[in-house]
Amino acid sequence: MNIKEFLFSLLITLSASAILAQEVPAAKQPAGTIPAAVPFVPVNLPISTLRLGIAGLSHDHVNNILTDYHQGKVIIVGIAEADKQLRAKYKERYNIPDSLFFDDLKKMAVTKKPDAVLGFNPVAKHIDVVEVCAPLGISVMVEKPLAATLAQAKRMEFLALKYYIKLLTNYETTWYQSYQHVYNLTQKDSIGRIRKMIVHDGHQGPKEIGCSKEFVSWLTDPELNGGGALIDFGCYGADLMTWLMEGQKPVAVTAVARHMKLQIYPKVEDDVNIIVEYPTATGIIEASWNWPFSIKDLEVFGDSGYMHAFNNSSTLIRTGDTASTINVTNALEAPLDNPVTYLQLVLKNRLLGINDRSSLKYNMLVMQILDAAKRSVAEGRRIVL
């Protein structure tokens, strides 16, 4: 390393430490099993230098970003959450200073001026985040799916395009090494043309697996979530199929929903099967809160082979009578291996985030598939798109 490279590296390190010193002040050790907060000036640089705002704390996935914050990997400049009990819960768990909390999203956004806002609120409230952030020029990433209804999604798309912001959707499966490996092989024509895709997603039920009461309260509400298992887990399959089919619009959608747990989930369906028709392929989405175990897997059948991603790392590949299972560990490369570093790269390069699983373009197609599935259930017929 020459002297110029050394000085540049030192400058970056000092700048990141200075930001952290301003935005992540030390706090008292909370009671419980959560470890103490990271040192005032961490040894390692954070995985992202983005100044992030958080909209809502009622989605349990917020624990992921708050764990990263607690470990000094990300910078959070403000959290908008009106529920004071919810704020107190996470304040204690993750040693969050009072100065980061705001009752109102707009006040937080105007005061703290985050580079981007992450939405961890009810799906039907994602539109509220975009209504506030878009006119301020602040990009948004929400937890899947994009919206509770197609009408909401269209309004969000309009705002994103009008104000030139990035509007992205985060899926857990986007960061699965095995799924990326399957996609990479399909791009190399390793199994021939895709003819069938089957996606299983779900678990025993949000109450059964111990989701927080705040999460369950809106996840099982047909207005706040847009439905039950159809929305919660059907979106995964719709997103993966849109990605594998390179953004091709389906021909038609047919869905059947079941309500097996009326006593537990009286307002929404808990099991759904969706057939997504393409001109040259068929997709089958099986989404449920009634599986005997948690499952997220992907099967792809081609003209000459088959691939099955069992989980985030294991993939079975079969061509003819030859089958092999591999453990994939190198399909995702930094910074495209983490939602926050991905977001940072997208904000720096306006050509990224256009045609991928998180993109607005692909997730508008996801919303069309989910909307057609809901209409198919309600009307008992095949919906032509």
- Give me the CATH number covering residue 360: 3.30.360.10
Q: How many residues does the chain have?
A: 385
Q: Model-level pTM greater than 0.85?
A: yes
Whole-number pLDDT of residue 41: 37
3-state SS assignment for residue 6: helix
| Burial class of 64 by CB neighbour count within 10 A (0 to 12, 13 to 18, 19+) | middle
190 and 52 assigned to the same domain: no
Q: Are 159 and 259 in contact (CB under 8 A)?
A: no
- Phi and psi dihedrals of 42, rounded to 5? -65, 155
Cα of 74 vs its chain's centroid, Å: 17
36 and 185 assigned to the same domain: no
227 and 372 assigned to the same domain: yes
Separation of alpha carbons 28 and 47, rounded Å? 24
Q: Per-residue confidence of the chain (385 residues) as pLDDT tens digits? A: 444 443 334 333 333 333 333 333 333 333 333 333 433 334 456 788 999 999 999 999 999 999 999 999 999 999 999 999 999 999 999 999 999 999 999 999 999 999 999 999 999 999 999 999 999 999 999 999 999 999 999 999 999 999 999 999 999 999 999 999 999 999 999 999 999 999 999 999 999 999 999 999 999 999 999 999 999 999 999 999 999 999 999 999 999 999 999 999 999 999 999 999 999 999 999 999 999 999 999 999 999 999 999 999 999 999 988 999 999 989 998 889 999 999 999 999 888 899 999 999 999 999 999 999 999 999 999 999 9
Domain stop point among 121, 138, 164: 121
Whole-number pLDDT of residue 44: 57
Give Dmax over CA atoms of the chain in angstroms: 70
Q: Are 302 and 188 in contact (CB under 8 A)?
A: no
79 and 194 assigned to the same domain: no
> From edge to edge, which strands make up the β-sheet containing 116-119?
101-102, 75-80, 51-55, 116-119, 139-143, 167-170
Q: How many separate domains does the chain show?
A: 2
Q: Is 355 left (phi over 0), alpha (psi -120 to 50) or beta?
A: beta
Whole-number pLDDT of residue 344: 96
In a domain, 147, yes or no: no
Whole-number pLDDT of residue 351: 81
Query: In this structure, what DSSP letter does residue 138 have?
Result: -
DSSP codes of every residue in 147-164: -SSHHHHHHHHHHHHHTT
Which amino acid appears at position 344 of this protein?
Q
Q: What is the CATH number of the domain that holds 47?
A: 3.40.50
Element (H, E) at 64: helix 62-70
Domain stop point among 87, 121, 155: 121
| CA atoms lying within 13 Å on the CB side of residue 27 | 18
| CA atoms lying within 13 Å on the CB side of residue 129 | 32
73 and 11 assigned to the same domain: yes
76 and 222 assigned to the same domain: no
Instruction: Find the helix packing angle between 360-379 and 234-244, rounded to 10°.
Output: 130
282 and 355 assigned to the same domain: yes
285 and 375 assigned to the same domain: yes
- Phi and psi dihedrals of 200, rounded to 5? -105, 130
Q: Are 39 and 6 in contact (CB under 8 A)?
A: no
Tokens of 154: 């269209």
Domain stop point among 121, 152, 181: 121
- Phi and psi dihedrals of 46, rounded to 5? -65, 160
Separation of alpha carbons 94 and 6, rounded Å? 35
Whole-number pLDDT of residue 36: 39
Q: What is the CA radius of gyration of the chain?
A: 22
Whole-number pLDDT of residue 45: 60
Tokens of 120: 């961890």
Whole-number pLDDT of residue 350: 80
Range of the domain at 110: 3-121
